[in-house]
Amino acid sequence: MHPGGLPLLESLKMMLQQPIVNVEELGEGSGQPLCFLIDRVRQPDALAKLYGLSHTPEIELIFQQTEFSSLRDHSPIWVTTYAQSEAARLAASLCSDRRSGIALTSADPAAALRQARRLCKAKDPEGGFSLVRYYDPAFWSAWAMTWPTADLYGPWSCVYTPSGGLEQNTWRVWQPPDKATGAEPQAPSVSRETLLTFRVIRWWYWIKSQSEGRAFSDAALPLVIDNLQLLTEHGIEEGRHLVRLLPELGSTAWRERSEVMSVLHSDLPAHKKVTTLEA
């Protein structure tokens, strides 16, 4: 278990139990507009690509009309289109690449956009408020599991998150829970459990994106993730180093191996630790 949060296996299991649809099925049958939130930091050419379509969809900047408007040059993009359109195919591809966005349906696109802007700012575990990159598929998954309230969705009928790795054409479906009768509206809030679960899900996406990680079964991933977390705790943080060790991380718990811990606790630089652990 990671301290204070869901057990590793439980958080992964909850995510993997979400229904799956193919990319062509996004919004299909709902009769509602299909909207995408795309991270422009991870997809700097997104606007140019969208405006280059034969039929330009409705495009808004999420940070516009919010207190983060000064960051508009880095604002995520809001795209309103329909299922199976040219714009939907491009937006879905942008979201899937580099874990860069999510999709949703809503009967009221204007209200849906207001909800997207509302979620940008949330109370954080330190008692202050933070800008939230909830359009990161890994973060949305963690937030939906640890703050399972209708207030997270507002007027959104459902949310779709792209899968990683070999599952590029599949998306997970997140349905809002029923709103309790007479319940007071809750302001967006991110808990420590959300952040811990996000760390787990982010590792899952990273493993799935690596060719060396594709052989792992979902059942093996909690052990792999715990071993990866151990390595980062001891200064081995660069992706190129972690990839070299990844094939060895699915068999035993490295925290329980004295020879591994001796290397990790040593004063060797990170690349020397990696070379020693590979031997």
186 and 221 fall within a common domain: no
pLDDT number for residue 159: 98
Q: How large is the angle between the packed helices 8-16 and 137-146, nearest 10 degrees? A: 110
Tell me: do 43 and 84 sit in the same domain: yes
User: Of the candidates 98, 96, 110, which has an alpha carbon nearest to the alpha carbon of residue 35?
Assistant: 110
Regarding whether 244 and 119 lie in a shared domain, the answer is no
174 within a domain of the structure (yes/no): yes
- Amino acid sitting at position 113: L
Instruction: Verify that 215 and 183 share a domain, yes or no.
Output: no
The values of phi and psi at residue 180, to 5°, are -65, 135
Domain assignment present for 204: no
pLDDT given for residue 98 in this prediction: 92
Instruction: Write the CA distances from 251 to 171, 198, 237, integer angstroms.
Output: 29, 24, 21
Q: Indicate the burial class of 51 (C-beta count within 10 angstroms; 0-12, 13-18, 19 or more).
A: exposed
Supply φ then ψ for residue 102, to 5 degrees.
-135, 170
Neighbour tally for 89: CB within 10 Å: 15
Please check whether residues 131 and 62 belong to one and the same domain: yes
199, part of any domain: no
- Quick one: 273 and 233 in the same domain? yes
In a shared domain, residues 174 and 233? no
Shared domain for 149 and 240, answered yes or no, is no
Which DSSP helix (H) or strand (E) runs through 106? strand 101-106
Residue 78 lies in a domain: yes
Residues whose CB falls within 8 Å of the CB of residue 216, separated by 6 or more in sequence, listed in order: 207, 224, 250
For the chain (279 residues), the mean pLDDT of every run of 10, in chain order, is 53 90 95 97 97 97 96 97 97 95 98 98 95 98 96 97 79 91 85 94 92 82 92 96 95 95 97 95
Does residue 66 share a domain with residue 125?
yes
pLDDT of residue 268: 97
Residue 18 shares a structural domain with residue 140: yes
DSSP-assigned beta bridge partners for residue 130: 122
pLDDT at 225: 93
Task: Among 190, 223, 254, identify where a domain stops.
Answer: 190
Q: Are residues 16 and 144 in the same domain?
A: yes
How confident is the model at residue 3, as a pLDDT? 39
Residue 70 placed within a domain: yes
Indicate the number of domains in the chain: 2
SS3 letters across 115-173: HHHHCCEEECCCCCEEECCCCCHHHHHHHHHHCCCHHHHCCEEEEEEECCHHHCCEEEE
- If residue 77 lies in a helix (H) or strand (E), which one and from where to where? strand 77-81
Does 33 reside within a domain? yes
User: Domain range for residue 71?
Assistant: 8-190
Structural domain contains residue 225: yes
